[in-house]
Amino acid sequence: MKVLLSGAQGFLGGRILDFLLERGWTVRTVTRRPAPEIAARGVETLLADLRDGPAVRAAARGVDGVIHCAAKSGVWGPLDDYLQANLVGSFNVLEAARRGGAAWLVGASSPSVVHSGRPLDGVDESAPYAARPERPYAYSKMLAERMILAADQPGGFRTAALRPHLIWGPGDPHFLPRLKAKAAAGRLWLLKSTALVDGTYIDTAAEAFLAAAGLFRAGRGDVIGGRAYFVAQGEPLTAPDLISRILQAVSPPGQSLKASGLLPAWLGRAGGSVLERAWYLLRLKGEPPLTGFVAEELSLPHWFRLDRLKRDLDFKAPVSLAEGLERLRQHSRRESRL
């Protein structure tokens, strides 16, 4: 069984690669940048931009299945950049998989596809797609997920999409470093909220993809084909509580990183919208210090019923929240000694 993995240089894709190799899968990766660190592990590595259809078709030739994790993530930037990376890229991977003879594809999606600025308070996969997604990332991922699921063919090529929420853990190159830097500089302000938020430890997210791929590999595509699944720890906390615990885990020895304080939720959401508008009108570089989307994520419920994931994939988080935080703490201590 040979699987093509996109996004292997990323946080999630890299951990999926670890697990695939540990379990004896034959892996080919397609990367946008040279990946000598992956090739050194004996992995076949092809260089291609996912927007290049012919190059992607060449990469997918002869594989049995595809795990597609490559994406442009973020809360800011031109819509076309997200559409090119997340929609056009996904289209090319999907077409390459079908033309190359692959039997299945598991795509990485996001809970943001159903985010409409309203509470996601224990919703399940019956929650509708957002009618008018305002964020480029969410819009591009919604289009990509719908396309991937629509490609599922009972008795033929099978597809599924997983929606991990707020992935965190050792090796995170995005969320944790920024969180840590802001706290250390005294510029981390959170929003007052009792709303529950459920994140996903990196190993939980990666294991869910292995579980889905394993079902397809075993010829059980009828179980998950054409379906999307929320993925999370199943242990929701308030956003201030979750972030505070993560900050404690990544605090350097002898320090205790904390948020500078709590702002009223209404003020955060209003301020984020004003900053977005100012950045857009004044064409300022970089992204605003706070956006409306981030303010909504910090102050509105974002937790999900995981019944479908547990039933169809026979899956629950293999690492608890407490164990994940301890692993993050140990990892941070090792890094601080380097």
Active site residues: 137
For helices 89-100 and 136-150, angle between their N-to-C axes, nearest 10 degrees: 20
HEC-encoded secondary structure of 239-286: HHHHHHHHHHHHCCCCCCCCCCEEECHHHHHHHHHHHHHHHHHHCCCC
Looking at residue 289, what DSSP letter applies? S
Token couple for 138 = 């969410």
Cα(105)–Cα(90) distance, rounded to whole angstroms?
11
3-state SS of the chain: helix, strand, coil percent to 5? 45, 15, 35
For residue 66, give the nearest of 77, 78, 76, 57 by alpha carbon: 57
Cα(258)–Cα(243) distance, rounded to whole angstroms?
9
The residues near 141 (Cβ < 8 Å, ≥ 6 apart) are 71, 86, 109, 110, 112, 113
Strand order in the sheet with 65-68: 44-47, 26-31, 2-6, 65-68, 104-108, 158-164, 227-231
CB 44, CB 9: distance < 8 Å: no
Task: Report the relative pairing of strands 237-238 and 196-197 from DSSP bridges.
Answer: antiparallel
